[in-house]
Amino acid sequence: MSALICGSIAFDSVMVFQGRFRDHILPDRIHLLNVSFLVPSLRRNFGGCAGNIAYNLALLGGSGAPMATVGHDFAPYGAWLRERSVDLTHVRVIEDEYTAQAFITTDLDDNQITAFHPGAMGHAHVNRVTEAAGITLGVVAPDGRDGMVQHAAQFAEAGVPLLFDPGQGLPMFGGQELLDFVAKSTWIAVNDYEGQLLVERTGFSLRELAQRVRALIVTRGAEGSVIHADGRQIVIPAVRPEAIVDPTGCGDAYRAGLIYGLQNGLDWETTGRIASLMGAIKIAHAGTQHHRFTRDEFEQRFRAAFGRAL
């Protein structure tokens, strides 16, 4: 089973503020907000949801390729992914645009403030799912608005099972549009906040939304995750990380674990635990694509975390 991962590819400029936003943003002065944070730590990382998911899926040994639009500055990122055996056949360069850029500031409580320049991502709709052959699993992750809508429709028309991962793109859509995505989806993955927003905008509870798909997965950070499937709520425990360094990209690592489990026909209890371990491995490393492991190392970590073999 090969996955086509439609979503963003971006450069992430990650800054760490050695304080807490809450000490500088006063609730009664929010209408006059004018704050500046000194950020002595700055890293420029390769990121974007499609890039991150594809990277993590390759680590696991899964089969998948990103479909994205990038800018004229993509060359070093492209070389990085090729060296890590990520297939870039469906990554299109838009010569008069920059690759999407995220500027992320994280505080000591792991809260984040992000500014995002979409650049070439705004052309995502020029890619068509039908251009990719042999695809048996589709992913629609945060991307250009038109691209997300059209790619979901194209997967549905092609009869390809779809994992819908709205992420930070969720606020772009109204209730009916989100219900249209749900109708085209086989599985949905959201974090706790996104799940609440999905409920508010659609007017349906998580339980009701879960009845419309094969599984609705809700991640809850350090509290683990819940998979709503087959009329059950499957609680997946969080894995204690070796360190808490950088939460950026943990959700993408988790989703790669989901895709790997789906590709290999694993049950939800196992799939969720693979995904949970992927998030824990990622959070212990700065950047979204700097963690590494061999298959043996992953299996050892799995056994240590869950008390059983993978």
**Range 141-154 average pLDDT:** 98
SS3 for the chain is CCEEEECCCEEEEEEECCCCHHHCCCHHHHHHCCCCCCCCEEEEEEECHHHHHHHHHHHHCCCEEEEEEECCCCHHHHHHHHHCCCCCCCEEECCCCCCEEEEEEECCCCCEEEEEECHHHHHHHHCCHHHCCCCCEEEECCCCHHHHHHHHHHHHHHCCCEEECCHHHHHHCCHHHHHHHHHHCCEEEEEHHHHHHHHHHHCCCHHHHHCCCCEEEEECHHHCEEEEECCEEEEECCCCCCCCCCCCCHHHHHHHHHHHHHHCCCCHHHHHHHHHHHHHHHHCCCCCCCCCCCHHHHHHHHHHHHCCCC
- Residue 184 scores a pLDDT above 80: yes
> Bigger pLDDT: 209 or 247?
209
> Bigger pLDDT: 69 or 106?
69
pLDDT value of position 226 = 98
Question: Poorest-confidence range of 21-30, 97-106, 161-170?
Answer: 21-30
- Residue 1 scores a pLDDT above 70: no
Can you say whether residue 195 is alpha, beta or left, with left for phi > 0 and alpha for psi between -120 and 50 degrees? alpha
- Residue 140 scores a pLDDT above 80: yes
pLDDT value of position 147 = 98
> Bigger pLDDT: 197 or 115?
197
Q: Tell me which amino acid residue 229 is.
A: A
pLDDT value of position 34 = 77
Alpha-carbon span 305 to 291, nearest angstrom: 18
- Residue 143 scores a pLDDT above 90: yes
- Residue 194 scores a pLDDT above 80: yes
Taking only the tens place, the pLDDT of each residue in 37-53 is 888 888 889 999 999 99
**Range 116-135 average pLDDT:** 95
- Residue 210 scores a pLDDT above 90: yes
**Range 139-154 average pLDDT:** 98
CA atoms within 13 A on the CB side of 199: 14
Question: pLDDT band for position 112 (50/70/90)?
Answer: confident
- Residue 29 scores a pLDDT above 70: no
Domains and CATH numbers, the chain: 3-9+48-98+125-303 (3.40.1190.20)
